[in-house]
A and B are shown apart, each in its own frame.
Chain A
């Protein structure tokens, strides 16, 4: 359901202020969403003054600096730091992206950092993505073909292989799904851009033999047609993919195919 305001226990309060101790002249204020599961208090925004003269270029570097030098209690996911693993997906300056590929110089003024929107928060910037992974599982994201092809190579033409471009590169960081208002209000039923892009990836794979069944499965008022081309997904994708177009292609297939 559409729900504009946050529940009482989710309302964000003002938090602590960490004043700069380095004496640097080039300071930036970083406002970070914090929630500690052990206290039972409301989430809060902590503000850190960070010395930008001694800080590498990306938002993740700023967070690392805060964790290493100012406040070790800050929790966030990160791993590869090169835009490959998708762990450090978060909401920066009002837009979802990967902290490791977003330059802090691109953000004017204070930097606001929140977890991915409309998720159950586990701690600080870590959101609960279990629901999304379950939905991913539901589209059966693996190749389905008859037994004979299990022993031989399945050939694919260059043209058929090219159809997967723009779909297989997805790293499942959830930036797109959590940027989608439709997914906020109906995330329990609507599959969301990330999962639908993957559904599309298997539907158009020339080697897959369950195309019809896959299409039938996804053809659902709530699972698919909750996409209203708001296009937040495409503008959020840190890999430059286009989930909105993939969803439109699925809709087109369903409108023209006989199933």
Chain B
């Protein structure tokens, strides 16, 4: 039998850094946001169709799972906004020092939670 060389372990053994965590989360939230925008568009179209359909969606979004989804989407957008700003600054060539990347990464992570709360409170005041 041919003795083919193995591939050395990569993602299985490599320790996560704040910067790599933010980078992968940026991708994941990006995909979530595309799906979320599609759903929001669908939801809006349904509002125009009839009142009963609006009521169904309203009930769905006010359930526990619905609230979880809304919070999740809010966080996902918050994260994407902050992370994108970080990327834009990096595209200008700033913020590449190790310490700075760590701090900016932490700002994105904790900032996204704070931004979610702010968005939630603002949203609440409209209802």
Residues on the B chain within 8 Å of A148, using CB: none
Interface size range on A against B: 35 or more
How many Å from the CB of A8 to the closest CB on chain B? 10
Most chain A CB neighbours (cut-off 10 Å) among B5, B6, B96, B101: B6
Residues on the B chain within 8 Å of A181, using CB: 10-11, 20
A33 interface contact, C-beta 8 A: yes
Q: Give bound CA distance, A109 to B97, whole Å.
A: 29
Q: Is the CB of B8 within 8 A of A119?
A: yes
B96 partner, pick from A33, A38, A230, A245, beta carbons under 8 A: A245
> What 1/0 flags go to B9-26 for Cβ under 8 Å of A?
111111101011001100
Chain B interface mostly helix, strand, loop or mixed?
loop
**Number of CB contacts from chain A to chain B under 8 A:** 111
B14 partner, pick from A115, A232, A242, A252, beta carbons under 8 A: A232
Knowing A40-B1, A43-B6, say if A232 contacts B17 (CB, 8 Å).
yes
A61 interface contact, C-beta 8 A: no
B13 partner, pick from A4, A10, A38, A91, beta carbons under 8 A: A91
Interface size range on B against A: 20 to 34
How many Å from the CB of A201 to the closest CB on chain B? 16
A114 partner, pick from B13, B17, B92, beta carbons under 8 A: B13
Which residues of A approach B to under 8 Å, CB–CB? 4-7, 9-10, 12, 33, 35, 37-38, 40, 42-43, 91, 93-95, 112, 114-122, 127-128, 179, 181, 184, 228-232, 234-235, 242, 244-245, 248-249, 251-252
A-B contact pairs, 7 of them (CB 8 A): A10-B7, A112-B13, A117-B13, A231-B17, A232-B14, A232-B20, A235-B101
Which residues of B approach A to under 8 Å, CB–CB? 1, 3-15, 17, 19-20, 23-24, 27, 87, 90-93, 96-98, 101
Q: A91-B8, A230-B24 given; name 6 further pairs at CB < 8 Å.
A: A91-B9, A117-B9, A120-B7, A128-B5, A230-B23, A251-B91
